[in-house]
Amino acid sequence: MLPIKSAVLVGSLRKESFNRKVAKALIEITPESVILEILEIGQLQMYNQDLDDNPPTEWTKFRDSLKTYDAVIFVTPEYNRSVPAVLKNAIDIASRPYGKNVFDKKPCAVISVSIGSLGGFGANHHLRQSLVFLNAPTMALPEAYLANASKLFHQTGKLADPATEEFLKLFMASFVDWAKTNSHRGKEASL
């Protein structure tokens, strides 16, 4: 069986983002049955429906690139109990215009990361609401709320907390099963 190719969308643009560090940690610990790649979203112009007929090149590249992935992992901070604008913008671009939703039937998972004690709970669930509407089957368990993120990493950016590393391995193992079960790659050909 071919490896699952999964995009990671990181909801923080900050240079020393804990979310990007988590995404990089996932890439390091991911099983061989998964190709995990960060798909950048910071270059995307804000979504404007007036541009749907003649979309910016960055939008087209992003949509076309996202189409090549079997699954998506979202790693997001929480801003005001929701997801950052840059992540919501990427979701809007990939799901528009109406009827051309790139997330349709694409298995997804969500990890929220916060320096606070709630682990980005609000952002995690707000993002899940959007994914339900986009018909993107989203892994329910294990839920992933990484709290106190400033204590999870060495100065080098590597994970310092063995319990978090073990949890992320469990998360990835569950995600592999989820993506395999919900992937539509090859199913159309066998029908």
Contacts of 68 (CB under 8 A, 6+ apart): 5
pLDDT score of 1: 61
pLDDT score of 185: 61
Other CB atoms within a 10 A radius of the CB of residue 186 amount to 10
Contacts of 6 (CB under 8 A, 6+ apart): 34, 35, 36, 37, 69, 70, 71, 72, 73, 175, 179
Q: How far apart are CA 166 and CA 105, in angstroms?
A: 29
The domain that holds 82 is classified in CATH as 3.40.50.360
List, for residues 31-71, the tens digit of each pLDDT value: 888 999 999 999 999 999 999 999 999 999 999 999 999 99
Number of domains in the chain: 1
pLDDT score of 11: 97
Read off the pLDDT of each residue in 81-89 and give the average, rounded to a whole number. 97
pLDDT at 158 over 60: yes
List, for residues 135-157, the tens digit of each pLDDT value: 999 999 999 999 999 999 998 98
pLDDT at 90 over 90: yes
Range(s) of the domain holding residue 66: 4-190
pLDDT score of 189: 35
pLDDT score of 183: 82
CB 76 within 8 A of CB 87: yes
Q: How far apart are CA 146 and CA 152, in angstroms?
A: 9
% the chain with pLDDT above 90: 90
pLDDT at 109 over 50: yes
pLDDT at 93 over 70: yes
